[in-house]
Amino acid sequence: MNHKEMHMDHSMHDDMNMDHGMNHGDMHMDHSMHHDGMNMDHCGMSHDGMNMNHGGMHHMHHMGNLKRKFWISLILTIPIIIMSPMMGMKMPFQLTFNGSDFLVLILGTILFLYGGYPFFTSCIGEMKNKKPGMMSLITMGISVAYVYSVYAVIANDILNVKPMVNDFFWELSTLIVIMLLGHWIEMNSVMNAGSALNKLAALLPDNAHLIAEDGSVKEVNVHDLNEEDTILIKSGEKVPADGTIIDGKTALNESLITGESRDVQKSVNDNVIGGSINGSGSIKVRITGTGESGYLSKVMNMVSEAQSSKSESEDLANKVAGYLFYAALIVAVIAFVTWSLLHGVIYAIPITVSVLIIACPHALGLAIPLIISRMTSISATHGLLIRNKTSLEGINKIKYALMDKTGTLTQGDFKVNAYDSLDNNYEKQDIIKIAAAIEQSSSHPLAEGIINAFAELNSDELKANNIEEISGSGIKGTINDKEFMVVSSSYLDKNNIEYNSADTDKYLQQGNSLSYLVSDGKAIGYIAEGDSIKPGAKEMIQFLNKQHIIPVMLTGDNQQAANKIADILGIKEVNAQLVPEEKQQIVTKYQQNGKVMFIGDGVNDAPSLTKADLGIAIGSGTDVAIDSADVVLVNSDPADVINLIKLAKQSHTKMIQNLWWGAGYNIIALPLAAGVLSSIGIIIGPMLGAVIMSLSTVIVAINAMTLKIK
């Protein structure tokens, strides 16, 4: 392998996962997507109309509306419970008086129409899609309960039918309240899926300072910017578009774009990315293009597409509810027809109603939300922020763990591991001393490592003048009227400056980045810097391997540095020298062979985080990366992935158990309620059905509370 293949450019900002040499002029932002007009479309629906996986509950009930609907329904339910017996079973606390049945009817009607409205509208959607689920099951249950209860009030209080007909207002009210509570719990634990795109759009300012041909400056909307326009960007302002600096110098904060926390020095002919933040200097920038080719626009499109493609999976509880809907309907029809033929319609109706009421998913409605609530609580105490519980349900099917290197597996903090002189006229310490003086004004991560190493020497500082960046290669300056350069090995190769690679190859093979000190056309010294591995990284990789999840490194770093880190950690699959777009493509490629989790921390990781079946963001990463992820590691510790996987697997097991407790009893209860064994005196009447329903709800709650990481 030749030396060129082994070096890491001094100009590479650690593992920034994007090539800053790429022509950002070809990647400008479509300002028609600016944040004022931005509204994320999730699965083809605006946020207000977003389809909630759990049975298609429409998000027209944003958190405030759903919360208010729950509390009002609960207030209506309390007097109904006090005045109405549970399936004919009178409780000690119940109170009845002349006219109480009519009062219950009025309250029940209000509750049915007000509290049941979201279920009715969602049921219509399910029926249109020919996919009845939780909302259809709930709608069927409360509708049957309401209609039969109205009939019961008329029969008992107006027609004076004997024996009395049992009403189901108790079941109607509790089912509505429990279902609203379940969805409130679920919504409260899952964050707004659109915030990632809103964050991205908000990176761009609304207005820009356009420089006219006569030199005057006027403020215009970013929509009005065109290719070749010249704009003024003042100190502290956001860059409104991709372009090239034509006047001035500054330091740009590109952390929200690249994930790199340090400012990047920029001067004439350097490219700038829309969304980055200008530092202390004012610059004039020529816009290099408009349309949808901007860097941020590309990222936004990828995030949007990834979110849409990931949300296609149906919620498991909703599938179970769909099966139960058909089962209850079929059993009820069979029971009605059979008993009508044997004993008449009047005899068959109560049995049919009992079947449909017993199928009401009280426990099923809480089965998943209670687990989610408990999981969210546990995760918070272990440094895990779960934003999308649905993605965790497929944890047992994850086959690959794709991960970024810098900031995820490593600290992203370069430290000098070695330096030495290559010229007898300079001592070893002279090399770090001169380099530190030249790098003093630079915010490059390698520069900071050199400056920190010099500080440890407690030596007198040298004064450098005429500091100037060497585009794509390093930096130069003069000390005592003598010019020095701190450059990468690629600069030496391009300019035919001789150096003995044998002295430095061993550092490259250890995964270090090399900088050379050059004077009078000769390499006089070198400095080797390396990034340190995070303490929990190796433990995480070992755990993944034990779980038969294949770890894969994706990085913009050079192949040698990436391979070294991978060898230390035990990662066998490495993809290096990648640009952001390639990361998402690789995620898609791996998904063809199995489910993929992705761990990253920069904005350029956002598309990969959302495209993956499970996206995990490092907490110290950017806001956009965090908003794109399903889970955030608050403590930025890769070892927390271990607790996440353990918790997710335990939660999945508990969910399956709860679904059986919440719906499984119907396998026995529905046929018995239909009177299959009535010939031998075994039948589940409304009273026993109510007891079974209540018991399953209690068991579901207890099972959820026993969830823990183990």
As a whole number of angstroms, the distance between CA 307 and CA 485 comes to: 47
CA atoms within 13 A on the CB side of 335: 27
Provide the 10 A C-beta neighbour count for residue 382. Answer: 16
For strands 410-421 and 398-403, give the pairing: unpaired
Helix (H, G, I), strand (E, B) or coil at 373: helix
Residue 404 designated active-site: yes
CA atoms within 13 A on the CB side of 164: 12
Catalytic residue among 14, 263, 404, 613: 404
Provide the 10 A C-beta neighbour count for residue 579. Answer: 13
Instruction: Map tokens 């100009």 to a residue.
Output: 11
Q: What is the DSSP string of 402-439?
A: EE-SBTTTEEEEEEEEEEEESSTTS-HHHHHHHHHHHH
- Give bridge partners of residue 437 from the DSSP assignment: none
- For 616, list phi and psi in degrees, rounded to 5: -120, 120
- For the CA atoms of 424, 428, 434, 436, the dihedral, rounded to the nearest 10 degrees, stands at 160
Please answer whether residues 613 and 310 qualify as being in contact, where contact means their C-beta atoms are separated by less than 8 angstroms.
yes
Residue 264: name the closest of 276, 279, 274, 251 by CA. 251
Please answer whether residues 451 and 444 qualify as being in contact, where contact means their C-beta atoms are separated by less than 8 angstroms.
no
| Beta strand ranges found along 590-666 (DSSP E) | 595-600, 614-618, 631-633
Please answer whether residues 169 and 115 qualify as being in contact, where contact means their C-beta atoms are separated by less than 8 angstroms.
no
Which two tokens mark 433?
């001393």
Q: For residue 58, give Cα distances in angstroms to 311, 552, 704.
A: 15, 38, 25
Please answer whether residues 176 and 77 qualify as being in contact, where contact means their C-beta atoms are separated by less than 8 angstroms.
yes
Which two tokens mark 360?
């009401």
Question: DSSP letter at 361?
Answer: -
Question: DSSP letter at 226?
Answer: -
Give the residue numbers annotated as catalytic, written as ranges: 404
